[in-house]
Structure 1
Amino acid sequence: MTRENISFQTSDHITLRGWFYKPTTSLSQTRLPCLVMGHGFSAVKEMDLDTFAEYFVSNLELACLVYDNRGFGESDAKPGLPRQEIIPAQQTSDYSDAITYAQSRPDVDAARIGIWGSSYSGGHVLWVGAVDRRVKVVLSQVPMVDGWANFHRIVRPDFVGGMNDLFQEDRLARAAGQDAGYIPVVDADPHKPSALPTPDSYEFFAAWAKKSTWDNNVTIKSMEALREYIPSAHIQHIAPTPLLMTVAQNDVITPADLALQAYSRALEPKKLHFLPGGHFDAYSGPNFEQNASFQAQFLKEHLCLPSLPVRLA
């Protein structure tokens, strides 16, 4: 396989950067189906997205476009706006712009584009798959499906009032021209506020902090934006595009019961895959082969269907 450093422009003129993978065995004059992949809440592409892309490209006649979300990793933020800010409407729009970039490449079959997301971006692909009809397959891994419900599951009830105060103070400060306020993504002290206050979140992100460019903070506005976001609102409109939802049975970050409620509203064709363990067990360890191979089979059936080669001019 080959990996190319790429960059592309969003519709509001932000440069996003990432990698483009394709098999070395594919014919140079044949256009490939392409899977567009973005990461979840605050994560950067080095945090196992490369592992999934390499697996798919090694086992399928498929290209993968992997990129950092705006304001994270190697991607730019809009001038004058803070980095480490997560606004769902911007990130879903960026998925569609990544699809456009993939379609513009001479080595991609523009009619066969799929989208893959995990955790927060697992929610994004539910939204994009419903509203962007160019999408031919949706893979949603351990998705965040309902921001209001999710917020009130992971934030301790006695911390909610303090969060509301933070939201108000940050809005007033930004309106007065001050810099955006920030909150840690994780904290070793469970008595301190953080965006993802669970032990497995701290373990996962603390490990990556030592070996990647990941930063342990997001803007306070990111948390307010999470609470108002319900990416599964249009899940019934994904059909007739095939949907695969991967759910971790003991997930406490994006709880399994919320994902299953959303899945029940999706229409056929759809498939559900249960994984043992918690949220982060989907990314690596003993679950990875089971997870990635199931996803690869779904891609083989629904995106990598045999078709006549499209020869380039």
Structure 2
Amino acid sequence: MSTRTTIQFPSHGEQCTGWLYLPETTTPPPVIVMGHGLGSVRTMRLDAYAERFVAAGYACLVFDYRHFGDSEGQPRQLLDIARQRSDFAAALAYARSLPSVDGTRLVVWGTSFGGGHAIAVAAEDGHASAVIAQCPFTSGLASGLAIPAWTSTRLMALAIIDQIRGAVGATPLLVPTAGAPGTVALMTAPDAEEGYLNLVPADGAGGFDNRAAARISLHLMRDFPGRRAAEITAPILFAVCETDSVAPAGPTLKYARTAPAGEIKLYPEGHFDIYVGEPFERVVADQLDFLARTVPAN
């Protein structure tokens, strides 16, 4: 038997909203702090992972970044790398403050864009017991080069306009987070739109909006969170999709090999496939095996 409670924690004067999953145990369990990917909210299948982890005896803290989902932050849909990593760090601090969990046994878990955050935040934090980076964004240059040139050119033009709008306090210029090939969106790979939207629950719960402020395009290609893998001495599992169209596997594997206690699991699927169905089952099984070996629940 487990419980799920809606919680809030502060991040730079605003409140992030999340869920706290607690297993039925006699002693405080290890806690897994979980952050999602580009423009995503916690209802987009993070609950499926958390349910498996809590069934195995782990507590889970699953949260929305500021400006997204049920968390505070204006303007809405502002995708800011530094702010999201600050929110992740605030989530770690909040988890460690909870008497219901063992904050000395904390796992940092991130997927996609959040996988890059998990690497960077765990490196900065220095006290995580383990890290799981699932199909992680590790190289902004590699992800940027995966976008067709025409789309990149249009995105950059819109990003500059949006940056100017932000500087004068105007509402953000929003672009689709995922769109069809040939359209102007942050992700336009053939599997991106269907795969991304397939993660949204049928009732649309959680304040999801398939749009983000265009200015993020000015910053993505200069971000290389994978470089910080070498600083993480805790066990870290890299779950890598070999045919990843959004976060190419090549750079991720290069960075993963620099982690002193890194492990790599390869999957033949694409970026969005491992959240559902049989691929999800394989990925979760591997992650539970990793957790049992590195941060046992009992």
- TM > 0.5 fold call: yes
Identity of aligned residues (%): 33
Q: In the aligned structure 1, how far is the partner of 2:215 from the partner of 2:85?
A: 17
Q: What is the CA deviation profile of residues 70-104 of structure 1, one whole-angstrom value per residue up to 9, with x for unaligned ones? A: 11111111xxx411111111111111111111111
Name the residue aligned to 1:5.
Answer: 6
What is the TM-score of this pair, normalised by structure 1?
0.89
Q: What is the CA deviation profile of residues 241-260 of structure 1, one whole-angstrom value per residue up to 9, with x for unaligned ones? A: 11100011211111111211
Name the residue aligned to 1:195.
Answer: 186
Q: Does 1:76 align with 2:72?
A: yes
Are 2:256 and 2:263, in contact at CA under 8 Å, matched by a contact in 1? no
Name the residue aligned to 2:109.
Answer: 116
Deviation at 1:209, TM superposition (A): 7.1
Please list every run of 5 or more consecutive structure 2 residues that lacks an aligned counterpart in the other structure.
none
Are 1:249 and 1:256, in contact at CA under 8 Å, matched by a contact in 2? yes
Q: In the aligned structure 2, how far is the partner of 1:164 from the partner of 1:233?
A: 25
Deviation at 1:227, TM superposition (A): 2.0
Match of 1:223 among 217, 220, 224: 217
Q: Does 1:257 align with 2:257?
A: no
Q: In the aligned structure 1, how far is the partner of 2:40 from the partner of 2:168?
A: 30
Q: Does 1:20 align with 2:16?
A: no
Q: What is the CA deviation profile of residues 35-90 of structure 1, one whole-angstrom value per residue up to 9, with x for unaligned ones? A: 0001100111111100000001112x21000011111111111xxx4111111111
Change (3 A) 1:210 1:164: same
Are 1:148 and 1:228, in contact at CA under 8 Å, matched by a contact in 2? yes
What is the TM-score of this pair, normalised by structure 2?
0.94
Change (3 A) 1:161 1:90: same
Matched AA of 1:97: A
Change (3 A) 1:275 1:3: same
Match of 1:277 among 246, 260, 269: 269
Q: How many pairs align?
A: 294
**Root mean square deviation, CA, Å:** 1.5
Match of 1:64 among 60, 67, 79: 60
Larger Rg: 1
Q: Does 1:151 align with 2:144?
A: yes
Matching of residues 78-227 of structure 1 within 5 Å? 81-153=74-146, 155-188=147-180, 190-207=181-198, 208=200, 210-212=202-204, 213-227=207-221
- The SS at the match of 1:34 is strand
- Between stretches 123-132 and 179-188, larger displacement belongs to 179-188
Runs of 4+ in 1 over 6 A off after TM superposition: none
Q: What is the CA deviation profile of residues 178-236 of structure 1, one whole-angstrom value per residue up to 9, with x for unaligned ones? A: 22111111223x22210100221110233327532321100011222222211112110
Q: In the aligned structure 2, how far is the partner of 1:177 from the partner of 1:298?
A: 46
Q: In the aligned structure 2, how far is the partner of 1:186 from the partner of 1:138?
A: 27
Please list every run of 5 or more consecutive structure 1 residues that lacks an aligned counterpart in the other structure.
307-313
Change (3 A) 1:204 1:214: farther
Are 1:209 and 1:216, in contact at CA under 8 Å, matched by a contact in 2? no
Change (3 A) 1:296 1:209: closer
Matched AA of 1:262: Y
Are 1:209 and 1:215, in contact at CA under 8 Å, matched by a contact in 2? no
- The SS at the match of 2:191 is helix
Q: In the aligned structure 2, how far is the partner of 1:13 from the partner of 1:49?
A: 25
Matched AA of 1:266: A
